[in-house]
Amino acid sequence: MRLRLFASLVLSVSLAGCASAPGRPKAEPDPPPDQVLDFPALYSANCVACHGRGGENGPAMDLANPEFEALVDDATLRKIITSGMPGTQMPAWAQSAGGMLTAQQVDAIVTGMRKEWAKGDALAGAAPPPFQQPQGGDMHHGQQVYQASCASCHQGPSREQITSPLYLSLVSDQALRSIIIAGRPDIGQPDWRHDTPNGAEGQPLSAQDVTDIVTYLASLRNPAAVSAAPTPIPPRR
């Protein structure tokens, strides 16, 4: 019995010694949060709650939409991540704007998005309307185009929220424009080229049509609803 106990102690000491033996790899400590540059880790920690796993099916824009990736350039993506998007729940993420991400981490997110979700032929050679929403749209023309091209899908109990002042208080003009142009395939929203029900191709919306639809929707916002909408809180460490 004593011999068996002694052998067990010797084995335990030997194993403990192996753990610190020369040449044995040591477990690397986790890097500090501001040194993480791995895109999946950054996206999971900072983006997935709003933009969904895999960049889709979240409450915010589906970043995995190749048309959206083709519509917006790197500088604009970097600016949105850095400074947030006024009029939406998208906060500023960069440390320079009060957030928690370094400039290198913002760049890693942009690069990762492009690598994961951008496709060179996403627009099939078509030229979409410009990304930026200009001022001075025609609200009345926008209402006419909305009724002709959008209302058939956005009316009824399940989708009438598109014209709800509460919904519009949470989405900016620029976000509306992005959705109209690039669509949201994850929820069945067509792009600017497929503006008829059931996915049938219709007359593509012109750049002016898109501008005017956004102007019309913006006119439906209730200022009281906008002021009562939650204010995005910048992420903190």
Domain map of the chain by residue range? 33-117, 139-228
Q: Do the first three CATH levels of 33-117 and 139-228 match, i.e. the same topology?
A: yes
Pick among 1.10.1660.10, 3.40.50.620, 1.10.760.10, 3.20.20.450: CATH of 33-117: 1.10.760.10
What pLDDT score was predicted for residue 158?
57
| pTM, rounded to two decimals | 0.79
Query: How far apart (Å, rounded) are the C-alpha atoms in residues 233 and 53?
Result: 22
Which of 190, 178, 185, 186 is closest to 150 using CA atoms? 190
pLDDT tens digit sequence for 15-64: 444 555 555 665 677 778 889 999 999 999 999 999 999 999 999 999 99
Domain boundaries 139-228, corresponding CATH code: 1.10.760
pLDDT tens digit sequence for 65-119: 999 999 999 999 999 999 999 888 899 999 999 999 999 999 999 999 999 999 9
Q: Which of the two residues, 1 and 121, has the higher pLDDT score?
A: 121
